[in-house]
Amino acid sequence: MIEFSPMISVEGVIYAGAIGLVAIGALGLVLCSHLFRMLLALEIAESGANLLLVLTGFRGDSVAPIIGYGPAGAPMVDPLPQVLVLTAIVIGVGVQAMAASMLIRIYRTYGTLEMAELRRRMELDTAAAAGIPAPTSAQAPAGGRPLPPVPAFRPTHAARVRES
Amino acid sequence: MNQIVLPVVLPLLAAFLMQPLARVSGLLARVLGPLVLGLSALILVRLWLDFGEAPFTVAIGGFAPPLGIVFYADHLALMFALAVPVFTLLFWPGLGEGELDPDRRARRDALVLLLAASCTGLALSGDLFNIYVFYELAAVATFGLATLTGTARSQVATVRYLLISAFGSALALVGISILYMLTGTLNLGHLAQLAPHTLQGPLGLASFALMLIGFGVKAELFPLNAWVPEVYATAPARVSALLAGLVSKLAVLVVVRLLVLVFHQPEPAQLLMVLGLLSILTGELAAWRAKDFPRMIAFSSIGQLGIVFIAFSISGDAGLLAGIAVALHHLIVKSALFGLAARWNGSLDALAGAARRAPLAAGLYVLFALSLIGVPPLPGFWAKLLVLVGLAQGGSTLQLFALISVLLVTAVEASYLFRVAVRLYGQSDSPPAPPARWDLGAAAALGAVLIGVTLTTAPVADHLRNVAHQAGNAALYVDTVFPKTVAQKD
């Protein structure tokens, strides 16, 4: 293990980096309003978590866990977390692919990926489908006012709102 | 005994064979899903009936623990493992609801089978990372199922659920890393042995908190339950029934196993109680304000799961018994309510006069409402009584506050549930459509189970007491997973 100082080691830096990645992902999920940015923040958080899991197997001055790779009797890195992380990466990829396909579908229907706008439209659609008056908000204080026409997408059934 | 893996393996196999099979023979693909789950249910019933007193384990692939993965089957695990195929069959999404083209039907059935396989695995697995993998598999299956209607609003709701769930899982993975770092193992039995020495400090508590965030998303724990009302309102009602009833209970089961086996300190239980309290208060008050039926029962399910968490945070067998009772009761009642909500998904005002067209459904609703509120002699009363008695015997300020909250919340529940009941039996010119036959049949079957339990409360209570006692016995778990010799940490 290369020591830059008695306090900092390579291991410590990478641990800090992994936790930092998770923190960046968390901040991104909370602060971003655009769905795709939230998805990217999620990916960063998952990368950080995977890195942290691999790090738990790291030993300084070790070689890769393959028999015959290093000198006989050399300490090896713990292979179990590496196997676990492979599984976790694949799970992450699957989930992200699913999210991306949902984003495409949402964009095609609603024409936007801004979370606030999407939540408002979803509430309106759900309320319209259930037959209850839409929740009032600053944009629609009378509840159920028709949406302003947006030229980029085709009108959906959300455009049919009840009279308040 | 090795058959215990079949309820996990067979649905997985059938899920992946479903689409090629659909190209070859439509009839076979239509029948395969329910057939496989029926077979799983039969296997589990047989195992349950043959179950003696001692739990048993099966080492997957013959690899012995702690390196290999074990499936651990005690009363509690078998009970929940049996609930999975039964409830999935009762609430199979889209069954009998009109013709889909064979490809879409095959995809839907594959998702349902994946959900069933992973939920059974969650109930049975004894390895923490195996539990994580099954949990993620169940999550992906629920993402697919929640968007079955194809509407864009369900996609928005599901994408929000996906983001919360995947972030929770990333945090759970961090928690698992911390556990591995501290103990060097991920086998629950081995962790139970090593926990007293290695997990006492703040890092151990941090790992519990992180894993609670991860598994709490599906268990609808506050504050991770923002996705619940939106997904339950936009997903098909049967998918909501499976999510609210089945998947949430299995997530709670995972947390309970962690609490009982690994984390014996008082702080995790206190954290659970505080979060349960917040769930109850926010959930039930939001249910009181809800304006449509599916969202009302969605918020109510948040509240009931808060009661489940409060119950499990009471230490000892009393807490486990109360928690298991409330969880099973909620499984039966909430699934049935969502089944009734399939056609009754309009606003609460539109429900007026429904009793005229669907007297059985309205009667069942009243039965379930009474049981949820906790009117004797229905099982809901006994379950809530166990929680209240356990809290009163605890005596700490937090527990007394929880006691008062549960009673307060019961009053709120009575208010909004009876509001709907009154409306159901009111007058109206245009009553809503009656529930579909299959949904009504499933709700009626669960209502019959509820009445059956009411009539046989004492034997059921004794059985649940045994279940709770066995589940709370961490030493028994360790001795079953590692018979005779004590495994050393390498």
In a domain, A122, yes or no: yes
Any chain B CB within 8 A of the CB of A25? yes
**Nearest-10 crossing angle of helices B266-289, B202-216:** 30
Q: How far apart are CA B338 and CA B248, in angstroms?
A: 14
Any chain B CB within 8 A of the CB of A89? no
pLDDT computed for residue A162 by the predictor:
44
pLDDT computed for residue A136 by the predictor:
60
In a domain, A117, yes or no: yes
Spatial contact of B384 and B410, defined as CB atoms under 8 Å apart: yes
For chain A, what is the domain count? 1
Any chain B CB within 8 A of the CB of A117? no
Spatial contact of B145 and B93, defined as CB atoms under 8 Å apart: yes
> Which ipTM was obtained for this model?
0.89
Which residues on chain B are in Cβ contact (under 8 Å) with A35? 159
Any chain B CB within 8 A of the CB of A126? yes
Nearest to B253 by CA among B120, B360, B427: B120
Q: Do A106 and B139 touch (CB under 8 A)?
A: no
Query: Considering only A12-16, A33-37, B424-428, which range has the smallest mean pLDDT?
Result: B424-428
Which residues on chain A are in Cβ contact (under 8 Å) with B211? none
Closest-CA distance of chain B to residue A148, Å: 19
User: Cα dist. B108→A98, B100, B124, B217, B323 in Å?
Assistant: 15, 10, 25, 23, 33
Which residues on chain B are in Cβ contact (under 8 Å) with A88? 132, 173
DSSP state of A34: B
Spatial contact of B285 and B232, defined as CB atoms under 8 Å apart: no
* pLDDT greater than 90 at residue B77: yes
**What confidence tier does B118 reach under pLDDT thresholds 50, 70, 90?**
very high
Q: Do A98 and B152 touch (CB under 8 A)?
A: no
Which residues of B have a CB under 8 Å from any CB of A?
Answer: 129, 132-133, 136, 139-140, 143-144, 147, 151-153, 155-160, 162-163, 166-167, 169-171, 173-174, 176-177, 180-181, 186, 230, 233-234, 291-292, 345-347, 349-350
- Candidates B155, B174, B291; nearest CB to A49: B174
User: Cα dist. B182→A51, A57, B138, B191, B205 in Å?
Assistant: 17, 11, 28, 10, 12
Query: Considering only A65-69, B33-37, B137-141, B442-446, which range has the smallest mean pLDDT?
Result: A65-69
Q: What is the pLDDT of residues A99-148, one digit of tens each?
A: 999 999 999 999 999 999 999 898 888 888 877 776 665 555 555 545 56
Q: What is the pLDDT of residues B135-169, one digit of tens each?
A: 999 999 999 999 988 888 999 999 999 999 999 99
Amino acid at the residue B97: E
Spatial contact of B78 and B51, defined as CB atoms under 8 Å apart: yes
Query: Considering only A95-109, B75-89, B149-163, B423-437, which range has the smallest mean pLDDT?
Result: B423-437
Closest-CA distance of chain B to residue A95, Å: 7
- Candidates A50, A106, A119; nearest CB to B152: A106
**What confidence tier does A11 reach under pLDDT thresholds 50, 70, 90?**
confident
Which residues on chain B are in Cβ contact (under 8 Å) with A53? 173-174, 176-177, 180
Which residues, 6+ apart, have CB-to-CB distance to B95 below 8 Å? B34, B438
Is the sign of the CA dihedral B51, B55, B61, B62 positive or negative?
Answer: negative
Query: Considering only B206-220, B403-417, B423-437, which range has the smallest mean pLDDT?
Result: B423-437
Which residues on chain B are in Cβ contact (under 8 Å) with A106? 152, 155-156, 159
* pLDDT greater than 80 at residue B342: yes
Query: Which residues of A, range 61-80, sit inside 8 Å of B by Cβ?
Result: 80
Q: How far apart are CA A30 and CA A39, in angstroms?
A: 11
Nearest to B342 by CA among B306, B294, B304: B294
Q: Do B347 and A110 touch (CB under 8 A)?
A: no
Q: How far apart are CA A38 and CA B363, in angstroms?
A: 46
Interface mutation target, options B159, B211, B343, chain A, most CBs of A under 10 Å: B159
Q: Do B174 and A103 touch (CB under 8 A)?
A: no
* pLDDT greater than 70 at residue A49: yes
Query: Is the N-terminal amide bond of B266 cis, ω within 30° of 0?
Result: no
Q: How far apart are CA A145 and CA B223, in angstroms?
A: 32
Task: Give the pTM.
Answer: 0.91
Q: How far apart are CA B358 and CA B111, in angstroms?
A: 32
Which residues on chain A are in Cβ contact (under 8 Å) with B157? 122
Q: How far apart are CA B12 and CA B332, in angstroms?
A: 25
Place of tokens 């209970």: B249
Domain range for A117: 9-60+77-134
Spatial contact of B490 and B204, defined as CB atoms under 8 Å apart: no
Long-range contacts of A84-88 (CB under 8 A, 24+ apart): A84/A53, A84/B129, A84/B186, A85/A50, A85/A53, A85/A54, A87/B129, A87/B133, A88/A46, A88/A49, A88/A50, A88/A53, A88/B132, A88/B173
How many residues in chain A?
Answer: 164
Spatial contact of B128 and B143, defined as CB atoms under 8 Å apart: no
In a domain, A143, yes or no: no
Strand partners, B56: B73
Closest-CA distance of chain B to residue A101, Å: 10
Closest-CA distance of chain B to residue A155, Å: 12
In a domain, A70, yes or no: no
* pLDDT greater than 70 at residue B317: yes
Q: Which residue has the higher pLDDT, B37 or A66?
A: B37
In a domain, A1, yes or no: no
Mean pLDDT over the full length of chain B: 91
Q: How far apart are CA A144 and CA A132, in angstroms?
A: 10
Q: Would you kindly state where each structural domain of chain B is located, as residue ranges?
A: 2-481
Helix residue ranges, H only, chain A: 10-31, 35-55, 79-110, 115-130
Spatial contact of A28 and A38, defined as CB atoms under 8 Å apart: yes
pLDDT computed for residue A148 by the predictor:
60
CATH number at residue A98: 1.10.287.3510
**What confidence tier does B259 reach under pLDDT thresholds 50, 70, 90?**
very high
Q: How far apart are CA B98 and CA B302, in angstroms?
A: 31
The string of DSSP letters for B155-220 reads HHHHHHHHHHHHHHHHHHHHHHHHHHHHHS--BHHHHHHHHHHHS-SHHHHHHHHHHHHHHHTTTT
Q: Do A87 and B129 touch (CB under 8 A)?
A: yes
Which residues on chain B are in Cβ contact (under 8 Å) with A110? 152, 156
User: Cα dist. B404→B135, B238, B392, B409, B474 in Å?
Assistant: 34, 34, 10, 9, 31
Spatial contact of B389 and B318, defined as CB atoms under 8 Å apart: yes
Closest-CA distance of chain A to residue B370, Å: 26
